[in-house]
């Protein structure tokens, strides 16, 4: 079982990261989809994913070994 924590308001008060209004996007992904073909059928791995990483954000990709995090 994998636990995921969500922090909704990390506006930078204690972390030193920029507030949302002042944030500067350094990575922005819009409507990303990934479908790969197995021997039997196509598998949708990502569907219309949107992601913005702002300057000062700390980001970590987690998953089991062999899941394609380095891809």
Report the pLDDT value the prediction gives residue 23, as an integer from 0 to 100.
Answer: 76
Q: 59: how many CB neighbours lie within 10 A of its CB? A: 8
Q: Chunk the chain into consecutive blocks of 10 residues (it has 71) and report each block's average pLDDT, rounded to whole numbers.
A: 47 49 85 93 93 91 81 63
Burial classification of residue 53, based on how many CB atoms lie within 10 Å of its CB (0-12 exposed, 13-18 middle, 19 or more buried)? middle
Q: Do the domain assignments include residue 28?
A: yes
Containing domain of residue 35, as a range? 23-54
Query: Quick check: pTM over 0.85?
Result: no
Determine the straight-line distance between the first and last CA of the chain, rounded to whole angstroms: 23
Q: Using CA atoms, how far apart are residues 67 and 16, in angstroms rounded to an integer?
A: 32
Number of domains the chain is built from: 1
At residue 68, the pLDDT reads 74
Tokens 């930078």 locate to: 12
Q: Is residue 9 part of a domain?
A: no
């Amino acid at each position: 079982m994998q636990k995921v924590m969500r922090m909704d308001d990390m506006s930078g008060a204690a972390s030193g990261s920029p507030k949302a209004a002042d944030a500067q996007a350094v990575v922005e992904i819009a409507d990303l989809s990934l479908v790969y073909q197995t021997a039997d059928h196509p598998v949708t791995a990502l569907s219309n994913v949107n992601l913005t990483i702002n300057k000062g954000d700390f980001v970590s990709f987690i998953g089991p070994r062999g899941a394609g995090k380095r891809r």
